[in-house]
Amino acid sequence: MDKKNALRAGALAAGTTLMMLLMSSPASALTRDDGDDPGPGLSVIETLGLFVAAPIVLYLVIHGLVMIGDKSHKKKDPTSSNITTKADATSEVKA
């Protein structure tokens, strides 16, 4: 019974994906609409800067701001700095 359900789920997923691909019709992107006035295209450098470098820079800025805010929180917390995990116990085995 499990194989039959898995096969049915796979067929449904494949059928749904196929129908979505057929309905999207990318060929209609070749015809322009009335009033459509596209601007000039982006160069490779502009594309990389906009879609690669800018998100990385934004991530680093946000990460830096969070780290600055987090360090000020650690100074105010007195309980986390006085916990030690070093074991002082020793054992002697006599045979």
Side-chain-facing half-sphere of 60: CA atoms under 13 Å: 6
Rounded average pLDDT over 87-95: 69
> pTM score, two decimals?
0.44
User: Greatest CA separation found in the chain?
Assistant: 96
Q: Characterize 69-85 residue by residue with b for buried, 16 or more Cβ atoms within 10 angstroms of its Cβ, and e for exposed.
A: eeeeeeeeeeeeeeeee
Q: What tens digit of pLDDT does each residue of 13-67 get?
A: 999 999 888 877 666 667 777 777 888 999 999 999 999 999 999 999 999 999 8
Q: What tens digit of pLDDT does each residue of 66-89 get?
A: 988 877 655 555 666 666 666 666
